[in-house]
Amino acid sequence: MKKWIAAFRLKTLPLALGAIILGSWVNDFSFDFEIFLFAGITAILLQILSNLANDYGDFVKGTDRHRKDRQLAGGNISPRSMLIAIVVFAIGALCSGIYLLNISFGDDWNLWMKFFLLGIFSIAAAILYTMGKKAYGYMGLGDVFVFIFFGLVGVLGTSYLFKQELLITTWLVAIGYGCLCVGVLNVNNIRDLDKDVLTNKITIASKLGLPGSIIYQTLLIIAAFLTFSFYHLITGYYSLSPLLILIIGFIHIRKLKEAQSELDYNNQLKFLSLGSLGVVLVFIIRLFF
């Protein structure tokens, strides 16, 4: 069982949950626990699906051949078993998503079908990140898809499930959270920069190099700070989340510049992932009423 838990990469789940929590909170007085629960379950299943597909895709392409912390490359799980797990989690995400649409939209089949197609695209995006001949994660598009599905779809989509309306101001926190999630991916790509260059895997980090990637990381955190700050100023909703972004960002960038080993980068992956969830949790604690 330990090998499967390792394959699930539980440390990536806070990002998926953060989007659901944030999207559930921005619509005041319209919270529904059942919608929140199944939105969270669906997001977790999609994230695990993406992690399994990533393990399989990188293994087939030979990107992970030197990594023993990956389950296929390390010989802990067979390719056939991994494919079966990918199918199981894809079906699980689909079933959970369908139930979520039923409790959110009922007989409104127009909205039901639109979000169903969005769910299908989400499943496809989770799988095709590294699987297939045209895996978008190998074409420098990973950052774009993470921004779209963790930020825009995750936050805005969840918000819409509760009240069937979308406030313009919600875009601000969705963009900000999407930038933090892209930052997590960028740390991953900085860690693997040399290996990705050798295996012709195109990422923004592999194109920018280490100095450029750290500047890019800094800009992502600044963008998150600004969008969360503007949300507070425009709506009159105040929390300490912008301040926390500044603190996390300062520590993170300093540590990232000092990083020398894979362990250092992995620590920053965990730090920024948990820190992003922390930003969301601080956001829901309103300072003034």
Residue 267 CA to residue 176 CA, distance in Å, equals 22
CB 176 within 8 A of CB 223: yes
Residue given tokens 């980090």 in the structure block: 205
CA–CA gap between residue 276 and residue 215 (Å, rounded): 19
How many CB atoms are closer than 10 A to CB 236? 7
pLDDT for position 104: 94
CA 184 to chain centre: 8
> 288 in the Ramachandran plot: left (φ > 0), alpha (ψ -120 to 50) or beta?
beta
In this structure, the number of other CB atoms found within 10 A of the CB of residue 238 comes to: 14
3-class DSSP assignment, residue 288:
coil
pLDDT of residue 202: 87
Q: Report the pLDDT value the prediction gives residue 66, as an integer from 0 to 100.
A: 67
**CA 228 and chain centroid, separation:** 18
- 127: closest CA among 137, 118, 117? 137
For residue 73, what are the β-bridge partners?
A: none
| Cβ neighbours of 210 (radius 10 Å) | 14
Distance CA(216)–CA(80), nearest Å, equals: 38
Mean pLDDT by 10 residues, the chain (289 residues): 86 91 83 93 95 88 72 83 94 97 92 95 93 87 93 95 89 97 94 81 90 96 98 94 97 95 91 95 87
SS3 139: strand
The pLDDT assigned to 166 comes to: 85
As a whole number of angstroms, the distance between CA 108 and CA 148 comes to 25
- Whether the pTM exceeds 0.75: the reply is yes
Predicted confidence at residue 186, as pLDDT, reads: 95
The amino acid that residue 196 corresponds to is D
Answer yes or no: are the C-beta atoms of 286 and 239 closer than 8 Å: yes
Q: Which neighbouring-strand residues pair with 202?
A: 139
Compute the C-alpha angle 221/22/53, nearest 5°: 75
Amino acid 167: pLDDT: 87
